């Protein structure tokens, strides 16, 4: 099955949108960042972090100007700017539990989601600071994330893909144990500041021909950890959006992280540099700092991978 998408037929062309430096919006083209200049001024709002959400909400009105800018302006090398999270403070940040078959031929688990604090979001080159609480281990979870483009409620699966504005790369930083009554994990433990890296851009939905067949990778230095495809999803994007909109209204700038494959999962620890890469979107790196200088084996967590894979035959 090939899924092709565009947000209600609202735009032509393809685009990669970024935030950079002091939270200015831009367009990423062939390794160069083109600032939106005066186009963005009317979308700045009371907080600079909101500008991308405002642009997404009014994209039908501004798209032609942005496409003209993309074709005519020179821009500057991306290495000369500080990229930020493309949506520094999403209105809602929704994450899926698991949601991959992990290579097993089995019946799907029911869809399950949780809310993660938008204040946890950081961007490319930023630092994940491990919380100063007594958790068992803190895992990286590299994921594809959906950016919602319009206000929607009670969508069918046939309607769901039309709600997607674009895609970005995400990492659900997951301290396990040590917070709340559940000795394993509670959702509040996933909401510590800096526990939601996102970047490097938002790729408009029409640029991704099939979001259900994308390669997702994560490295610690030169060591490859995650290496999986969205073709292994338990629940497709239409299923996830249909389910979410039965519960809540989604609005422009909401982000849904669609879950991870645990077979490449491993610990985050002090001094590491990690890199997330998703086919068709790009890559970004984060640094890790642990004020308590804890240590775990520098390798894939095979115990966790096996536990999830064998959770149900």
- Mind listing the pLDDT tens digit for each residue in 242-278? 999 999 999 999 999 999 999 999 999 999 999 999 9
Q: Is the pLDDT of residue 298 over 90?
A: yes
Residue recorded with tokens 């604090």? 117
Residues 6+ apart with CB under 8 A from 144: 167, 169, 170, 211, 214, 216, 230, 257, 258, 278, 281
pLDDT digits (tens, 9 = 90+) for 67-101: 999 989 999 999 999 999 999 999 999 999 889 99
H, E, C per residue of 11-46: CCCCCEEEEECCCEEEEEECCEEEECCHHHHCCCCC
First to last CA, the chain: 26
Residues 6+ apart with CB under 8 A from 240: 96, 99, 111, 113, 146, 160, 256, 258
Q: How confident is the model at residue 40 (pLDDT cuts 50, 70, 90)?
A: confident
The reported pLDDT for the residue numbered 281 is 97
Residues 6+ apart with CB under 8 A from 149: 7, 8, 10, 56, 59, 163, 164, 165, 166, 205, 252
Q: How confident is the model at residue 34 (pLDDT cuts 50, 70, 90)?
A: very high
Torsion angle (degrees, nearest 10) of CA 27, 70, 146, 165: 130
- How far is the C-alpha of 308 from the C-alpha of 102, rounded, in Å? 8
Q: Is the pLDDT of residue 8 over 60?
A: no
Contact 286, 171 (CB under 8 A): yes
Q: Is the pLDDT of residue 188 over 90?
A: no
Q: What percent of the chain has pLDDT over 70?
A: 91
Residues 6+ apart with CB under 8 A from 162: 5, 6, 7, 8, 9
- Residue 282: strand, helix, or coil: strand
């Amino acid at each position: 099955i090939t899924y092709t998408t565009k947000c209600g037929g609202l735009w032509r062309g393809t685009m990669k949108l970024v935030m950079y430096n002091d939270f200015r919006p831009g367009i990423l083209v062939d390794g160069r960042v083109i600032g939106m200049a005066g186009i963005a001024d009317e979308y700045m709002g009371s907080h600079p972090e909101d500008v991308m959400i405002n642009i997404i909400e009014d994209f039908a009105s501004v798209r032609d100007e942005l496409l003209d800018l993309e074709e005519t302006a020179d821009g500057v090398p991306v290495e000369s700017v500080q990229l930020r999270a493309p949506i520094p403070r999403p209105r809602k940040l929704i994450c899926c539990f698991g949601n991959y078959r992990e290579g097993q031929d089995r019946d799907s688990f029911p869809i399950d989601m949780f809310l993660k604090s938008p204040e946890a979001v950081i961007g490319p080159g930023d630092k994940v600071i491990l919380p100063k609480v007594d958790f068992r281990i803190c895992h990286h979870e590299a994921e594809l994330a959906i950016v919602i483009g319009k206000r929607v409620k009670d969508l069918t699966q046939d309607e769901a893909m039309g709600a997607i504005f674009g895609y970005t790369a995400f990492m659900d930083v997951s301290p396990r144990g040590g917070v709340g009554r559940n000795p394993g994990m509670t959702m509040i433990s996933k909401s510590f500041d800096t526990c939601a890296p996102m970047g490097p851009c938002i790729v408009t939905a029409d640029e991704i021909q099939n979001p259900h067949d994308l390669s997702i990778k994560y490295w610690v230095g030169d060591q490859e950890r995650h290496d999986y495809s969205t073709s292994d999803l338990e629940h497709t994007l239409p299923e996830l959006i249909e389910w979410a909109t039965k519960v809540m209204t989604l609005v422009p700038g909401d982000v849904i992280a669609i879950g991870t494959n645990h077979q490449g999962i491993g610990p985050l620890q002090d001094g590491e540099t990690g890199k997330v890469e998703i086919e068709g979107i790009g890559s970004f790196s984060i640094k890790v700092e642990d004020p308590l200088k804890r240590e775990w084996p520098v390798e894939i967590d095979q115990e966790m991978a096996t536990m999830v894979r064998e959770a149900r035959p």
